[in-house]
Amino acid sequence: PGPQIPHDPTKKTIVVLGSGWGATSFLNTLDTTEYNVVVISPRNYFLFTPLLPSVAVGTLSARSILQPTRYVTRHKTRFVEVIEAEAQSVDPVNKTVSFIDNSDIQGAVSSTSISYDYLVYAVGAEVQTFGIPGVDQNACFMKELNDAEKMQRRFMDCLESAAFPGQSEEEIHRLLHMVVVGGGPTGVELSGELHDFLEEDLKMWYPELASKIKITLVEALPSVLPMFSKSLIDYTVSTFKESKIDILTQTMVKEVKDKSVTLAMPDKSIVEMPCGMVVWAAGNKGRKITQDLMAKLPTAQTNRRGITIDEYMQMVGTDGSIFAIGDCTASSHAPTAQVASQQGSYLARSFAQRVKGDKLKAQLDELEASAATILHDDERKKVVEEAESVKSQLAKFKIRPFNYSHQGTLAYIGSDKAIAQLPVMNGSFASGGVLTYYFWRSAYLSTLFSLRNRTLVASDWVWTKIFGRDVSREW
């Protein structure tokens, strides 16, 4: 038995898995008048990921970049059920999803399943560790809110342990060495934020230690930020040099130990680098539930990067009842928030169109059924003509395919500087510096989904400027 919901049996049920960029954008845009909608996600909020590194160093408070999913759904015309649970499996044949409550506190019922007419699959991705030893046990991640909180605690712990009386110089240097793995935008932005924390706050609060803090960014490829133009990569590298952030390129992390990382250097030598904290920002991979779902469609779903979808977001190989958006998919677009949110709002609009198509189909079925029962010739002719007209309307009925509109790529690189690669006419415009930083701030402020979050983020920026970041270590 599924959960009891204010269910209208005459309407189709959309089950949405996830409450991230794709799902939230879908819910924001969806007209719920014609559908029963149920959202299932292990976290009952939306997380504004672009500002997560700012939370990790205390520039912003966590609450400022979260939006409870119920804030989105309560404004809908019809009730939308929000269930805090983790989907365990999808049965594409019987059209059901089973899910469990895996939170700390559970009631008498903690697992059940639900039927769907349409499934909007937006579960995102998880951190890719490539099976490298010690990553899970010894590194922090930068993907979810608890990752940022854990990193903040660990960072402050390293500082306080370095300040412990009698610590040797060697141990102080180890504890104050922060290693960020992955020179994609997450790793670069986090390194920049750590540097700001050091310059703007730690020099004041830990004057005896601040000069010993070292940040190293390790990247396996020959360059950081491959999605940006050469000029912006060079600008980032020179800014990091000024900020005394070391970049090691063509260097692969082979193991993360309790007190060090093992590096394969460009000359193939193996180096053991002591450190106090490792942040793993080396990319993402598909979740197990996604791999399991794909395995149920072995001929159609063969892309190892994620779910193959068509231009209508339909999962290839299904009967048109499963739609997948965002990081769980493998499309020609990069796995970004920008893509996921455009896919989500597109899908919601296409559901509004789908209602029209469904209504026409139902009307046609009804007319054809009644034509078969009418005995009087003239009356039947009238109904058949009407059915033909509906049929021709149905033939013309088309849902427009998804069309991605790239708005540009932005990244914060620390020291009040950002880089931007913006599309113009047939090419792109590259800009970097302090002005771009203000553009970055205003762009993200306007992208935040609610006025509440905009106000919280803007006021956090002001408070941090005036009072600095908090250096107390939460337990």
What's the min distance (Å) between Cβ of 221 and ligand NAD?
4
| Rounded Cα gap, residues 365 and 381, in angstroms | 16
283 vs 468 by CB, closer to ligand NAD:
283
54 binds ligand FAD (CB under 6 A): no
369 binds, among ligand NAD, ligand FAD, none (CB under 5 to 8 A by kind): none
What's the min distance (Å) between Cβ of 143 and ligand NAD?
8
307 strand-pairing partners: 329
Residue from 12, 13, 30, 42 that binds ligand FAD (CB under 6 A)? 42
Q: Could you tell me which stretch among 40-48, 204-212, 366-374, 455-463 binds ligand FAD (CB under 6 A)?
A: 40-48
276 binds, among ligand FAD, ligand NAD, none (CB under 5 to 8 A by kind): none
Q: Which of residues 110-129 bind ligand FAD (CB under 6 A)?
A: 122-124
278 binds ligand FAD (CB under 6 A): no
| Rounded Cα gap, residues 25 and 15, in angstroms | 15
- Provide the 3-class DSSP secondary structure of residue 228: coil
Residue from 5, 156, 220, 471 that binds ligand NAD (CB under 6 A)? 220
Q: Are strands 96-100 and 111-115 parallel, antiparallel or unpaired?
A: antiparallel
Residue 13 near residue 118 (C-beta atoms within 8 A): yes
What's the min distance (Å) between Cβ of 138 and ligand FAD?
20
Q: Could you tell me which stretch among 95-103, 278-286, 366-374, 415-423 binds ligand NAD (CB under 6 A)?
A: 278-286
| Rounded Cα gap, residues 150 and 78, in angstroms | 38
Q: Which of residues 409-468 bind ligand NAD (CB under 6 A)?
A: 409-411
Residue from 41, 138, 152, 260 that binds ligand FAD (CB under 6 A)? 41
- C-alpha 189 chain-centroid distance: 16
Q: Could you tell me which stretch among 85-93, 152-160, 186-194, 358-366 binds ligand NAD (CB under 6 A)?
A: 186-194
Buried b (16+ CB within 10 A) or exposed e, 374-396: eeeeeeeeebeeebeebeeeeee
Residue 391 near residue 363 (C-beta atoms within 8 A): no
Residue from 13, 152, 186, 236 that binds ligand FAD (CB under 6 A)? 186
282 binds ligand NAD (CB under 6 A): yes
20 binds, among ligand NAD, ligand FAD, none (CB under 5 to 8 A by kind): ligand FAD
Task: Give the tokens for residue 54.
Answer: 């700012």
Residue from 182, 286, 414, 432 that binds ligand NAD (CB under 6 A)? 182
For 143-195, the DSSP string reads SSHHHHHHHHHHHHHHHHHHTSTT--HHHHHHHTEEEEE--SHHHHHHHHHHH
324 vs 410 by CB, closer to ligand NAD:
410
159 vs 180 by CB, closer to ligand NAD:
180
| Rounded Cα gap, residues 40 and 352, in angstroms | 21
| Rounded Cα gap, residues 119 and 156, in angstroms | 43
290 binds ligand FAD (CB under 6 A): no
Could you tell me how many residues of this chain bind ligand NAD (CB under 6 A)?
A: 27
142 vs 273 by CB, closer to ligand FAD:
142
CB neighbours of residue 451 within 10 Å: 8
441 binds ligand FAD (CB under 6 A): no
Q: Which of 156, 250, 222 lies closest to 194 in space, CA to CA?
A: 156
81 binds ligand FAD (CB under 6 A): no
